[in-house]
Structure 1
Amino acid sequence: MSTSSDWNAWAAGRDSARITDWLREISEPDWSATVNHPLFDALAEGRLSDADFAAYMVQDYGFVDPFTALIGFAIGRAPSMADRVVLGQFMGMLTSDENSTFQRTFEAFGVPAAQREASDYLPETRAFQALLRETGSAGGYAEILAVLVVTEWVYLEWALRITRAEGLHPLVGEWIDLHDNPAFQDFVAWLRRRLDEEAQTLDDAAFARMAECFRETVARERAFHDAVMPR
């Protein structure tokens, strides 16, 4: 278990030390393995078959419902209207632009309507869904922020890292664009800043829970992407 004492020891002697940087470091090697996952390179280079891309998107769509609920819990537990505005705007993007990308992808790649929301989810998908639901129902604001920071920061980092091939299917390009644009970069920066701030207010027990939530979310991200990578 990582504690506030561990964080203080790490921060000592470092200029501009940030809790989110420390959380990322203690989540290695899972963090780097996820950001550098070969699935993202295959996607960006056009090496995923239509069937593999559709299967990946079906599994990823399994997170939309519990993730939307998690944001709802975050809005309810946010300490200020300012936080609620930012989170509410992100909720709007998720339920409009991102949901539209999923639905148009399913239509383009022939995913039956019944399979889109009643799929045979992989065990790794179900485990991640459970984490989102449990954090929403029982976690404090900082723990919810920890999950959000991981899920959004990881996706931003892989989207910034990959090199797109020419001639990608437009919907593949659209999926990348959702996670590599100025508005999304600003949202991730806001999430990190707010977690940095909220974590400083936690007592030792709550701080340890927040750090463990961050690490567990990174581990679930890695397990999910390992599971959906075409063999």
Structure 2
Amino acid sequence: MNYGLSFARFRAAAPEWDAYTRHPFVQGLADGSLPRQDFLNYLVQDYLFLIQFARAWALAVVKAGDLDEMRTCSATVHTLLDHELALHVRTCAAAGIDIQTILTTPEANTNMAYTRYVLATGFAGDFLDLLAALMPCVMGYGEIGARLAQEAAKDTPYRDWIEVYSGKEYQQACIDAGALLDSAIRKRLGDDPESSPRWTALTEHFAAATRLEVGFWGLGTT
């Protein structure tokens, strides 16, 4: 999928991108070999992650420079709160894990490290800093979903998860996020952003969040 030029540049500058999007956890989703309990452990932590991630996108509404940016960030908050979280609740409920159990599960250290990094980046920096830290999660899951929709075993028990992230709504959210990133960079850094003294810091935020994504998959492996 084409998620925009800025994302492609950030992705190319993130050494651990393949370690994230082709992690053994992802392969386990594709071929069905991932133990169900490992998946559920990850899903509970990911629910807690998405709460903080939604806060970060809400912060992006505050950091945004105009109404178009605000609307796109607000729509992403809606996708997180009303679609992704619902998938987690349904899947966990089918396995006998109710919402109260999810909400009383302590956040793993890896989870806190990632979400607080993104939030701290947003509070300390500007709209571009925050977007750079947010994008690996958004785009990575879109890329994984699109690829697994083509490559995953037909009988994998994780088909529902794959369909959410390969589905039209989530893929459109990725396209919109990519357009937001391109537009925000162009408005602030011009048509040659890589020549800006800010570019290195932005790619470092993206790369750091990518490393934290690699670590996050470890919450679902034993």
- The TM-score with structure 1 as length reference comes to 0.81
2:12 aligns with one of 21, 25, 35: 25
Contact 1:50 1:109 in 2 (8 A): no
* Structure having the higher Rg: 1
Letter of the 2:118 partner, please give it: L
Aligned: 1:116 with 2:107: no
Aligned: 1:97 with 2:83: yes
The structure 1 segments of at least 4 consecutive aligned residues displaced by more than 6 Å after TM superposition are: none
Contact 2:89 2:99 in 1 (8 A): no
How many Å apart are 1:110 and its aligned residue?
Answer: 2.0
1:165 aligns to what?
A: 153
Distance (whole Å) between structure 2 residues aligned to residue 113 and residue 186 of structure 1: 28
Distance (whole Å) between structure 2 residues aligned to residue 158 and residue 139 of structure 1: 29
1:207 aligns to what?
A: 199
1:42 aligns with one of 28, 35, 39: 28
Aligned: 1:59 with 2:50: no
Change (3 A) 1:113 1:89: closer
Which blocks of at least 5 consecutive residues in structure 2 are unaligned?
A: none
- The TM-score with structure 2 as length reference comes to 0.84
How many Å apart are 1:175 and its aligned residue?
Answer: 1.9
1:228 aligns to what?
A: 219
How many Å apart are 1:149 and its aligned residue?
Answer: 1.9
Letter of the 1:27 partner, please give it: A
Aligned: 1:78 with 2:64: yes
Letter of the 1:24 partner, please give it: R
Contact 1:66 1:132 in 2 (8 A): no
Question: Cα deviation per residue 1:52-91 (whole Å; 9 max; x = unaligned)?
Answer: 1111101211211111111111112222222222222222
How many Å apart are 1:101 and its aligned residue?
Answer: 1.0
Distance (whole Å) between structure 1 residues aligned to residue 59 and residue 106 of structure 2: 27
* Fraction of identical pairs, as percent: 23
Change (3 A) 1:104 1:198: same
How many Å apart are 1:92 and its aligned residue?
Answer: 1.5
Contact 1:70 1:135 in 2 (8 A): no
1:216 aligns to what?
A: 208
Distance (whole Å) between structure 1 residues aligned to residue 220 and residue 42 of structure 2: 8
Distance (whole Å) between structure 2 residues aligned to residue 218 and residue 174 of structure 1: 24
Select between 188-197 and 34-43 the one with higher mean Cα deviation: 188-197
Aligned: 1:156 with 2:124: no
Aligned length: 211
Which blocks of at least 5 consecutive residues in structure 1 are unaligned?
A: 1-16
Change (3 A) 1:198 1:90: closer
